[in-house]
C-alpha cells in the first residue's frame, strides 16, 4: 500500500531542489545483513576466549547473608568468579538532568546485587570458564545464603505505608518538608499551569477515569551479548551491541573504576533496542571477569534472562480528569500518574506528566507523578519513554469527553490543538507546529468516514514526544579517488547509515553510491550520545552536514589554489567548484574527483570533523486511526485497519521513515492487546519467553498505513524531525477507543486481552 | 564425556564436526562451524531467528541437536546467495527496506525461500501465516510482506 506524503507548506518550499533527500536508496550496510555476514553482539570471538555465565536470584526479594564461590572457583576449567565484591562502591547521588538522572550507586547494584536481591533474575555472581557447559556447572556450585523477604509487585500496593521496603532508608524526593518515614516512593513531581480548580469550576462537562497499564518489554530479538578483553596493562576492549557505545564505555569504566580512555568499545551491529540497550548489563561483568583472569570473556543472555533482568517499561496506575466548555474548548486537566520504576528509582514518570497533555492548548493543568520502586527488574527506556502510558489515559478521557460533548473526536482535538506559542505545563511554549496538521491529515483521509460492519469500531488518538538533540560527532574524508567516507559515533539501529549518506551526498552534490557511511569505534570519533530519543537523523545529521560544509570550504580553497584565485572567489555547486564570478575567466567547473586527484599538490588529504551539541530538535506529533472487529464470543480483537499520520519534518530516507511509523504502531498494538508481565504469588515471572509473552506476529496484522506529514524543522539543514518514537504514543488509546466504539464499553486496563474484553462485554457498566 | 563425530553437508559443502550430546544445531553452527549468520533470539523455538533447512525442511536450529545433522544437508543464510549474486529475496529485502536492525532477517529469508519453493504464488495472507513463526520487532512486517510478494512475482518471471 502506497504511503501518502502531505506537505502542508507547499508554497515556497524548495523540495524540488533536493535530489537525494526523500528518496529510498539501498542502505550501505544492507548486503552483509541479508547474507548473514553482519556481526552482532553475539557474533564475535577471540583466540583463547572463555564463556561467561551469570548466577541469578530465584527470589523476588531477599537479603544476601553470604556467598561462597570457593567450590565454583576450584572447578577445572573455571578461570574467574566475581561477585559485587569485585566492583567498587559508588557514591549515592543523582547525576544529569532530573528527567533522566542516573545514580551509579543504583547502577552497580543492578548489574550485581550487593546487600539484597531485589527481583527474580537479579545477578548475584558470574563465572568465566573454558566452555559454556563448565560455566553453567560452576554456577550450580556457588552457594548463596539468602534470607527471603516479603516482596511487592504492584505499584499501588508498593505505595502503601505497610508495604515491604526495598530500601529501608529511602525518603521521597520532591516533597517539602521531606517525609519522616522511608517508603518505596522515590520521587514525587508536580507540574502546574494556571489554576486547575478555577478551570474545572468553569467547565460544563468533566470526565474523570482511572487506568492501569502492565509493564511491557521492548522485545528486541537480539538478547544482550558482548565480548570483553582486558590486558595486563589495565586496558580493555569491548565488542557489544548497544544503542550507544560511548555510554557503554562511560558506564563500564565508571563501574570498574577505570579511566574512560582505557576502555575501547567497538560497535557491533545491534539487533533491536527500542531504548532497552541504552544501559549496561553484561558489559561490566564480562569486563570484570576478563580483568580478573586475563582472557577474553563472552557473555550471552538467554531470552529468559532478557525478560527477567533487563528493563521493561513501567506499569502504571493513573487517574485523569479533563474539563471542557459546551462548545468544546478545553479549560482544565488534572493527571495523577503512578509508575513502577522496578527495583531501582528512575521510571519515565516525569516524561509522562509532561507529554500527556502536551498536544492540547489547556490553560489550567496539574500533572502529578510518583516514581515507585517494587520487586521487578529496573525499568529501562522504551520508545518515547513514559509518553505512551499517559497518552493511553489522556486520550481515552479525551474520547469520552468528546462523546459527552456530542463532538467528533478528531474535530474536538483539532479545535484544542497546540501550535507555536501554546504554553506547556512544564514552562516553555511550544516552538513548532505540526500537531494540527496530523489531525487534519486524518480528517481528510477516506478512512475517516468509511463504513463499518457489525461488531466493528473506529478509534482515534494523538501523541506528543519531545525528540532530542544533543552531542554528536562526524568526520567526512575525501578519498584519493574522490569518493567519500562519512563516519559517525551513532549506532545504526534502523538505517541511519543510509540517512547519513543521503545528507552527505546531498550537501556535497555527489552520488549516493560515492558515499560510504560507517559507525566508528569510541577511539576513532568524538563523543556521541546514544541512538535514542529520535535524535540521530537530527543531531548526528547536523554534524555530518557541518563536516561536509567544512570539506566544501576546503575543496573551494584547493580549487582556488589550482586556478590561482582567492579562496573567496570560488563557490560550490552541483558537486563542482566553480568561479563565483564569470570575470575570473573561462574555467570549466572542477568536480570533486579532480580536486581529490590534485590533493597532494594543494596541501594533502582533504577531510573535516564536526562535533555538535545540537539544540532545536522539533517535537514529534502523531495522530492515529484504528478500526477493530471484536469477536463477541471470545473477546478477541482483530485490527482491521491502522493509519499513522505523523509530522516527520522532512523524510530523509522515506522508506525508513515509513518503517519507523509501521514498527512503532505495531509495538503499540502489542502493548494494547497482548503484552504484559505475569507474576505468581512469590513474585516470580511466569511468562519469560516469546511463547507466553506474545508480541505481534505477521498474521495478527493488516498492512499499517502511513501518512507522512511534512512540516519542516527550520533548525535542521534538511528540515528533519525525529521520527522514531511518537508513532507508538497514541496506539493503545486508539485501539481502546476503537473497542469502545465497537462494543460500547471502555476498557481502562492494559492489555485489552480477550478475557478482559469479554468481561467488559458482559458487564453492565458503560 | 567424549564428543560425537558428525558428517554432514553445509550449504553444499562436506563438513565434519565434533559436538557434545546436548549441543544444538544452532550452537554447532555458530560456535563450532563459525557460521554466525544464523541467530539466537530465544533458543526455545518461538522466534524463528535461527531458521535453517535440514534436507529441505524448515526447522528452528535451536530445537535440533547437532548430532541430528548426521548425513543430512543443512542450508543456512550463508549459502543463499550464489557467489556475489544475491537471491531475489535478498535483493527485494534491500530494495523494500524490509529490515531495520536486521537480526531476524536471516531467519525470515530462509523461511520465505522455503515458502516460495512450495508455493511460488502466495497471497498476502499466506505469506503472513507462513511467516507467523518468525518474529520481527522493528518493521511491523509491512515491508517484509511486500518484499516476499515482489520476489515471488519476479521469480515467477513477472
Q: pLDDT tens digits for B39-80? A: 999 999 999 999 999 999 999 999 999 999 999 999 999 999
A272 near B CB under 8 A: yes
Q: Please give the backbone phi and psi of residue A239, each rounded to the nearest 5 degrees, phi first.
A: -110, 115
Q: Do A665 and B38 touch (CB under 8 A)?
A: no
Question: pLDDT confidence of A448, banded at 50, 70, 90?
Answer: very high
B147 near A CB under 8 A: no
Are A379 and A341 contacting, i.e. CB atoms less than 8 angstroms apart? yes
In angstroms, how far is CA A725 from the centroid of its own chain?
Answer: 7
Q: What is the CATH number of domain B88-155?
A: 1.10.150.120
Q: Do A689 and B132 touch (CB under 8 A)?
A: no
As a whole number of Å, the end-to-end CA separation of chain A is: 37
User: What would the mean pLDDT of A690-714 be, rounded to a whole number?
Assistant: 97
Domain of residue A592: give its range: 469-614
- What per-residue confidence (pLDDT) applies to A11? 47
Q: Residue A575 above 80 pLDDT? A: yes
- What per-residue confidence (pLDDT) applies to A5? 83
Choose, from A269, A662, A705, A725, the residue flagged as catalytic: A725
* Nearest by CB: A662 against B40, B131, B139: B139
Statement to judge: residues A705 and A640 lie in one domain: yes
- What per-residue confidence (pLDDT) applies to A567? 83
Q: Say how far apart CA A478 and CA A434 lie, in whole Å.
A: 38
Q: Residue A737 above 50 pLDDT? A: yes
A662 near B CB under 8 A: yes
Q: Residue A12 above 90 pLDDT? A: no
* Nearest by CB: A656 against B31, B97, B102: B97
Q: Say how far apart CA A391 and CA A750 lie, in whole Å.
A: 13
Of A228, A258, A227, A235, nearest to A88 by C-alpha is A258
Statement to judge: residues A583 and A681 lie in one domain: no
Statement to judge: residues A509 and A629 lie in one domain: no
The boundaries of every CATH 1.10.150.120 domain in chain B are 88-155
Higher pLDDT, A100 or A145: A145
Question: pLDDT confidence of A9, banded at 50, 70, 90?
Answer: low
A19 Cα to chain B: minimum distance (Å): 19
Statement to judge: residues A664 and A530 lie in one domain: no
Statement to judge: residues A511 and A581 lie in one domain: yes
User: What would the mean pLDDT of A672-694 be, rounded to a whole number?
Assistant: 97
Total domains in chain A come to 2
CATH code for the domain of A487 = 3.30.365.10
Residue A131: which residues within 8 A CB-CB, separation 6 or more?
A51, A77
- What per-residue confidence (pLDDT) applies to A6? 83
**pLDDT 10s digits, A465-494:** 999 999 999 999 999 999 999 999 999 999
Give the 3-state secondary structure of residue A141: helix
Does a structural domain hold residue A568? yes
Residue of A nearest to B89 (CA): A34
Statement to judge: residues A634 and A763 lie in one domain: yes
Of A422, A569, A531, A548, nearest to A485 by C-alpha is A548
Residue of A nearest to B138 (CA): A663
Give the 3-state secondary structure of residue A353: helix
Cβ-Cβ pairs closer than 8 A, A with B, add up to 188
Question: pLDDT confidence of A13, banded at 50, 70, 90?
Answer: low
Domain boundary among A592, A614, A636: A614
Give the 3-state secondary structure of residue A475: strand
Statement to judge: residues A590 and A666 lie in one domain: no
Bridge partner list, A369: A189, A337
B50 near A CB under 8 A: no
Residue of B nearest to A689 (CA): B42
- What per-residue confidence (pLDDT) applies to B1? 64
**pLDDT 10s digits, A29-73:** 999 999 999 999 999 999 999 999 999 999 999 999 999 999 999
Statement to judge: residues A424 and A545 lie in one domain: no
Question: pLDDT confidence of A328, banded at 50, 70, 90?
Answer: very high
ipTM of this predicted structure: 0.98
Q: Residue A98 above 90 pLDDT? A: no
Domain boundary among A614, A640, A672: A614
Q: For domain B4-79, give the fold.
A: Ubiquitin-like (UB roll) (3.10.20)
Q: Say how far apart CA A276 and CA A348 lie, in whole Å.
A: 13
Statement to judge: residues A566 and A590 lie in one domain: yes
Are A589 and A573 contacting, i.e. CB atoms less than 8 angstroms apart? yes
Statement to judge: residues A432 and A572 lie in one domain: no
Are B106 and B77 contacting, i.e. CB atoms less than 8 angstroms apart? yes
pLDDT tens sequence for chain B (158 residues): 689 999 999 999 999 999 999 999 999 999 999 999 999 999 999 999 999 999 999 999 999 999 999 999 999 999 999 999 999 999 999 999 999 999 999 999 999 999 999 999 999 999 999 999 999 999 999 999 999 999 999 999 97
A305 near B CB under 8 A: no
Statement to judge: residues A656 and A683 lie in one domain: yes
**pLDDT 10s digits, A207-254:** 999 999 999 999 999 999 999 999 888 899 999 999 999 999 999 999
Question: pLDDT confidence of A766, banded at 50, 70, 90?
Answer: very low
Q: Residue A10 above 90 pLDDT? A: no
Domain boundary among A566, A599, A614: A614
Q: B-chain residues within 8 Å CB-CB of A42?
A: 30, 36, 39-40
For this structure, is A633 an active site residue? no
Q: A-chain residues within 8 Å CB-CB of B42?
A: 303, 689-690
- What per-residue confidence (pLDDT) applies to A582? 76
Does a structural domain hold residue A38? no
B6 near A CB under 8 A: no
B120 near A CB under 8 A: no
Question: pLDDT confidence of A7, banded at 50, 70, 90?
Answer: confident
- What per-residue confidence (pLDDT) applies to A362? 98
- What per-residue confidence (pLDDT) applies to A144? 98
Q: Residue A586 above 90 pLDDT? A: no
Statement to judge: residues A493 and A441 lie in one domain: no
Amino acid at each position: 500500500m502506497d504511503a501518502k506524503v502531505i506537505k502542508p507548506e507547499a508554497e515556497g518550499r524548495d523540495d524540488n531542489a533536493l535530489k537525494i533527500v526523500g528518496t529510498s536508496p539501498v542502505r550501505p550496510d544492507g548486503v552483509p545483513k541479508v547474507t548473514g555476514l553482519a556481526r552482532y553482539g553475539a557474533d564475535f570471538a577471540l583466540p583463547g576466549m572463555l564463556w561467561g555465565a551469570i548466577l541469578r536470584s530465584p527470589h523476588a526479594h531477599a537479603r544476601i547473608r553470604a556467598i561462597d564461590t570457593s567450590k565454583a572457583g576450584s572447578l577445572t576449567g573455571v578461570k574467574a568468579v566475581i561477585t559485587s565484591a569485585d566492583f567498587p562502591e559508588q557514591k549515592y547521588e543523582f547525576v544529569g538532568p532530573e528527567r533522566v538522572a542516573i545514580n551509579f550507586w543504583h547502577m552497580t547494584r543492578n548489574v550485581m546485587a550487593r546487600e539484597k536481591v531485589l527481583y527474580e533474575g537479579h545477578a548475584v555472581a558470574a563465572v568465566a570458564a573454558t566452555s559454556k557447559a563448565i560455566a553453567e556447572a560452576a554456577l550450580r556450585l556457588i552457594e548463596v545464603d539468602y534470607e527471603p523477604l516479603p516482596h511487592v509487585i504492584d505499584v499501588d500496593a508498593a505505595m502503601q505505608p505497610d508495604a515491604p521496603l526495598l530500601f529501608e532508608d529511602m525518603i521521597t524526593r520532591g516533597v517539602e518538608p521531606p517525609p519522616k518515614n522511608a517508603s518505596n516512593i522515590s520521587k514525587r513531581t508536580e507540574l502546574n499551569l494556571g489554576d486547575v480548580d478555577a478551570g474545572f469550576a468553569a467547565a460544563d462537562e468533566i470526565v474523570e477515569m482511572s487506568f492501569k497499564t502492565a509493564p511491557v518489554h521492548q522485545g528486541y530479538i537480539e538478547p544482550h551479548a558482548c565480548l570483553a578483553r582486558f590486558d595486563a596493562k589495565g586496558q580493555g576492549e569491548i565488542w557489544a551491541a548497544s544503542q550507544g557505545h560511548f555510554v557503554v564505555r562511560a558506564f563500564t569504566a565508571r563501574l570498574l573504576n577505570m579511566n574512560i580512555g582505557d576502555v575501547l568499545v567497538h560497535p557491533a551491529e545491534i539487533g533491536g533496542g527500542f531504548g532497552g540497550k541504552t544501559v549496561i548489563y553484561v558489559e561490566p561483568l564480562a569486563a570484570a571477569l576478563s580483568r580478573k583472569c586475563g582472557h577474553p570473556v563472552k557473555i550471552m543472555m538467554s531470552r529468559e534472562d532478557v525478560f527477567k533482568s533487563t528493563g521493561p517499561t513501567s506499569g502504571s496506575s493513573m487517574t485523569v480528569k479533563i474539563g471542557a466548555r459546551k462548545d468544546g474548548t478545553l479549560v482544565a486537566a488534572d493527571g495523577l500518574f503512578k509508575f513502577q520504576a522496578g527495583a531501582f528509582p528512575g521510571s519515565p514518570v516525569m516524561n509522562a506528566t509532561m507529554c500527556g497533555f502536551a498536544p492540547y492548548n489547556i490553560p489550567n493543568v496539574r500533572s502529578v507523578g510518583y516514581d515507585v520502586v517494587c520487586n521487578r527488574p529496573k525499568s529501562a527506556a522504551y520508545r518515547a519513554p513514559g509518553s505512551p502510558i499517559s497518552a493511553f489515559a489522556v486520550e481515552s478521557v479525551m474520547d469520552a469527553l468528546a462523546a459527552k460533548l456530542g463532538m467528533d473526536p478528531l474535530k474536538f482535538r483539532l479545535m484544542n490543538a497546540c501550535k507555536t506559542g501554546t504554553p506547556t505545563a512544564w514552562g516553555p511554549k511550544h516552538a513548532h507546529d505540526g500537531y494540527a496538521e496530523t489531525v487534519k491529515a486524518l480528517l481528510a483521509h477516506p478512512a475517516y468516514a468509511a463504513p463499518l460492519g457489525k461488531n466493528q469500531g473506529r478509534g482515534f488518538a494523538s501523541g506528543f514526544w519531545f525528540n532530542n538533540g544533543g552531542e554528536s560527532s562526524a568526520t567526512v574524508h575525501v578519498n584519493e579517488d574522490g569518493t567519500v567516507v562519512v563516519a559517525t559515533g551513532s549506532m545504526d539501529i534502523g538505517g541511519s547509515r543510509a540517512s547519513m549518506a543521503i545528507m552527505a551526498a546531498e550537501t556535497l552534490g555527489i552520488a549516493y553510491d560515492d558515499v560510504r557511511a560507517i559507525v566508528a569505534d569510541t577511539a576513532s570519533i568524538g563523543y556521541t550520545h546514544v541512538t535514542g530519543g529520535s535524535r540521530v537523523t537530527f543531531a548526528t545529521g547536523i554534524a555530518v552536514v557541518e563536516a561536509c560544509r567544512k570539506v566544501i570550504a576546503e575543496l573551494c580553497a584547493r580549487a582556488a589554489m589550482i586556478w590561482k584565485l582567492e579562496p573567496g572567489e570560488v563557490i560550490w555547486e552541483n558537486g563542482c567548484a566553480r568561479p563565483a564570478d564569470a570575470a575570473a575567466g573561462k574555467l570549466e567547473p572542477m568536480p570533486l574527483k579532480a580536486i581529490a586527484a590534485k590533493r597532494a599538490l594543494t596541501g594533502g588529504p582533504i577531510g573535516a570533523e564536526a562535533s555538535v551539541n545540537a539544540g532545536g530538535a522539533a517535537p514529534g506529533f502523531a495522530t492515529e486511526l484504528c478500526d477493530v472487529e471484536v469477536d463477541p464470543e471470545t473477546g478477541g480483537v482483530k485490527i482491521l485497519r491502522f493509519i499513522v499520520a505523523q509530522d516527520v519534518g522532512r523524510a530523509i530516507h522515506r522508506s525508513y521513515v515509513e518503517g519507523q511509523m509501521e514498527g512503532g504502531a505495531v509495538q503499540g498494538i502489542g502493548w494494547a492487546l497482548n503484552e504484559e508481565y505475569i507474576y505468581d504469588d512469590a513474585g516470580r515471572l511466569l511468562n519469560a519467553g516469546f511463547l507466553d509473552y506474545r508480541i505481534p506476529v505477521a498474521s495478527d496484522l493488516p498492512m499499517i498505513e502511513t501518512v507522512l506529514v511534512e512540516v519542516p524543522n527550520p533548525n535542521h539543514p534538511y528540515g528533519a524531525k525525529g521520527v522514531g518514537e511518537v508513532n507508538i504514543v497514541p496506539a493503545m488509546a486508539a485501539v481502546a477507543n476503537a473497542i469502545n466504539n465497537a462494543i460500547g464499553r471502555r476498557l481502562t486496563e492494559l492489555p485489552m486481552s480477550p478475557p478482559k474484553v469479554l468481561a467488559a462485554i458482559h458487564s453492565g457498566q458503560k | 564425556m567424549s564428543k560425537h563425530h558428525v558428517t554432514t553437508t553445509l550449504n553444499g559443502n562436506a563438513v565434519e564436526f565434533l559436538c557434545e550430546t546436548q549441543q544444538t544445531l544452532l550452537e554447532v553452527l555458530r560456535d563450532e562451524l563459525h557460521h554466525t549468520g544464523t541467530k539466537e533470539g530465544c533458543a526455545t523455538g518461538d522466534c524463528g531467528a535461527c531458521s535453517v533447512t535440514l534436507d529441505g525442511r524448515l526447522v528452528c536450529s535451536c530445537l535440533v541437536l547437532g548430532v541430528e545433522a548426521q548425513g543430512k544437508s543443512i542450508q543456512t543464510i550463508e549459502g543463499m546467495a550464489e557467489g556475489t549474486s544475491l537471491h531475489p529475496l535478498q535483493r527485494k529485502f534491500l530494495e523494500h527496506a524490509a529490515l531495520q536492525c536486521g537480526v531476524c532477517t536471516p531467519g525470515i529469508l530462509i523461511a520465505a525461500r522455503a515458502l516460495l519453493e512450495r508455493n511460488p504464488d502466495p497471497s498476502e495472507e499466506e505469506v503472513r501465516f507462513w511467516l507467523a513463526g518468525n518474529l520481527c520487532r522493528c518493521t511491523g512486517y509491512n515491508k517484509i510482506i511486500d518484499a516476499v510478494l515482489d520476489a515471488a512475482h519476479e521469480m515467477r518471471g513477472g
